[in-house]
Amino acid sequence: MLDLLNYNAKTPFIHKHLLTLKDYSKQDIYYILSIALKLKQMKKINTPHQYLKDKTLGMIFQKSSTRTRVSFEVGIYQLGGTALFLSDRDIQLGRGETIEDTAKVLSRYLDGIMIRTYKQTDVEALAEYGTIPIINGLTDQFHPCQILADLMTIYEYKNTLNDLKLSYIGDGNNIANSLLIACSKLGIDIAIACPKAYKPSDEMMEYCRNHAVKNSSKILITEKPEYAIANADVVYTDVWASMGQEADYNRRINDFKGYTIGAKLFSLAKKDAIFLHCLPAHRGEEVTSDVIDGPQSVVFDQAENRLHAQKAVMTLLMSDTFKNKEVKI
C-alpha cells in the first residue's frame, strides 16, 4: 500500500532543476507528490507554509497559458514569494537576445525561472548558462509539471500508483511523452492509441521501454483506441493540434478522425475509470462534452493540483530549508 502522506524518502532529493522527468527517479517523484499532498492539506486548513519568503520566480512565456501562469504565480505567493511574468513580447529574448545572456543576467536577480517555450534545448541552455533553478513549464517535447499534477490526481482517486492501467488516446506529443516517462518509471501500465504518423519517437520509446522492463510496467502503442482503452483505470487525452501547430490544424483534425473519446469508447474502460485532460480542451474533437463534463471526469481537480504540485517543486528546488535535504512538514 503506497502511503504518500507518510512517505519516507530512502534516497535524498538532490536536484537543481526540473527540465524533464527523465532526470527524476521513482523515489524523487513520490517525494514531490508527498510534499504536494501535505502542502494541499496545509492550504486547506490555513496552516502557514511560507517556505519561499523573499524569493522571486521569473516566469518566461513564449506560448500562451492559463493554468501554468496562474498556478505558478499564486503558488509562489502562497509560499511567501513573488512572481514576475516575463512575456517574450516584452523581454529582449523575443528580440533576439541570446538564451545564454538572458540566463546569466536573470540569475543575478531571480531565485528561479519557470519557462514555457518551444525547444527543449532552450530550457536546457537556460540551466547550463544560468546559476539558479530552472523549471520546465512546457516545451514541444515535455510537460513535467502537468504530469506531476496528473499523478497526484490519480493517487487521490485511486489511493495507489501501482497496478494501474492508463490509456492515452491522441497525439504522441509533450503530454504523451511525459506520461510515458512517468508511467514507465512508476510501474504504471500505459497504452497509447494514435495514428501511425503521430506516435512518440523511437528514441522516446526505447528510453521508456528500458525503464518499463525494470519497473514491471507494460507499454502498448496501437492505432486502435478500443484496444488501448480496454480495462483502463485512467483515460487521458489532449488536443490534436498543440501550441505552435496551428497551421497544421485541418490536416490533424482529419488524421485523428475516429480517436474522439465519446461515451461509447469510454464505456470500454473500467466502470470506475477516471477521465483526465491537461486542458485546454476542444469539446467535440478529442473528447465529447458528455465525457469531459460527465461524472467520471476529474479534470478540474487535476487543474487544481497543478498549484499544489508546483508549490512542491518550487519548495524543493528553491527553498534554503529544503534544498538537498529531507525535511518533515
How many angstroms separate the CA atoms of 271 and 194, rounded?
A: 23
Contact between 87 and ligand CP by CB under 6 A: the answer reads no
Applying CB under 6 A, does 146 fall inside the site for ligand CP? yes
Write the binding mask 170 to 189 for ligand NVA: x where contact by CB under 6 A, - elsewhere.
---xxx--------------
85: its cell numbers:
511574468
65 binds ligand CP (CB under 6 A): yes
- The piece of 60-68, 196-204, 207-215, 288-296 that touches ligand CP (CB under 6 A) is 60-68
Site string for ligand NVA, 132-151 (x = CB under 6 A): ------x-------------
User: Facing residues of 10 across strands?
Assistant: none
Edge-to-edge order in the sheet of strand 56-61: 82-87, 56-61, 112-116, 134-136
In whole angstroms, give the CA distance from residue 239 to residue 242: 6
Name the nearest CA neighbour of 275 among 204, 170, 143.
170
- State yes or no: is 283 an active-site residue: no
Closest by alpha carbon to 242, among 185, 298, 182, 177?
177
Give yes or no for a contact between 168 and 191, defined as CB atoms under 8 angstroms apart: yes
Residue 278 is among the residues annotated as catalytic for this protein: yes
Q: Residue 318, SS3?
A: helix
Binding-site partner at residue 160 among ligand NVA, ligand CP, none, CB < 5 to 8 Å by type: none
Residues 213 to 252: which contact ligand NVA by CB under 6 A? 238-239, 242-243
Please classify residue 70 by burial: count the beta carbons closer than 10 Å to its beta carbon, then call 0-12 exposed, 13-18 middle and 19+ buried: middle
- Contacted by 239, from ligand NVA, ligand CP, none: CB < 5 to 8 Å by type: ligand NVA
Which does residue 310 bind out of ligand NVA, ligand CP, none, counting CB within 5 to 8 angstroms by kind?
Answer: none
SS3 166: strand
Question: Out of 20, 62, 68, 260, which residue is the one contacting ligand CP (CB under 6 A)?
Answer: 68
- d(CA 79, CA 101) in angstroms, rounded, equals 29
306 is catalytic: yes
CB of 134 to ligand CP, least distance (A): 17
Cis ω for the linkage preceding 295 (within 30 of 0): no
**What is the secondary structure of 34-82 as a DSSP string?**
HHHHHHHHHHHTT----TTTT-EEEEEESS--SHHHHHHHHHHHHTT-E
Between the alpha carbon of residue 179 and those of residues 168, 208, 228, 235, the distances in Å are: 9, 10, 14, 12
**Please, what is the minimum distance in Å from the beta carbon of residue 243 to ligand NVA?**
4
Contact region with ligand CP (CB under 6 A), list: 19-27, 92-100, 105-113, 272-280: 272-280
Question: Which residue in 111, 194, 238, 308 is the catalytic one?
Answer: 238
Q: Which stretch binds ligand CP (CB under 6 A): 66-74, 156-164, 208-216, 267-275?
A: 66-74
The verdict on whether 163 is a catalytic residue reads: no
Q: Which entry of 67, 252, 277, 306 is annotated as an active-site residue?
A: 306
Residue 66, binding choice from ligand NVA, ligand CP, none, Cβ under 5 to 8 Å by partner class:
ligand CP
Establish whether 183 is a catalytic residue.
no
Which residues lie near ligand NVA (CB under 6 A)? 138, 173-175, 238-239, 242-243, 278
Which residues lie near ligand CP (CB under 6 A)? 65-68, 138, 146, 278-280
Q: Write out the catalytic residue numbers.
A: 116, 143, 146, 238, 278, 306
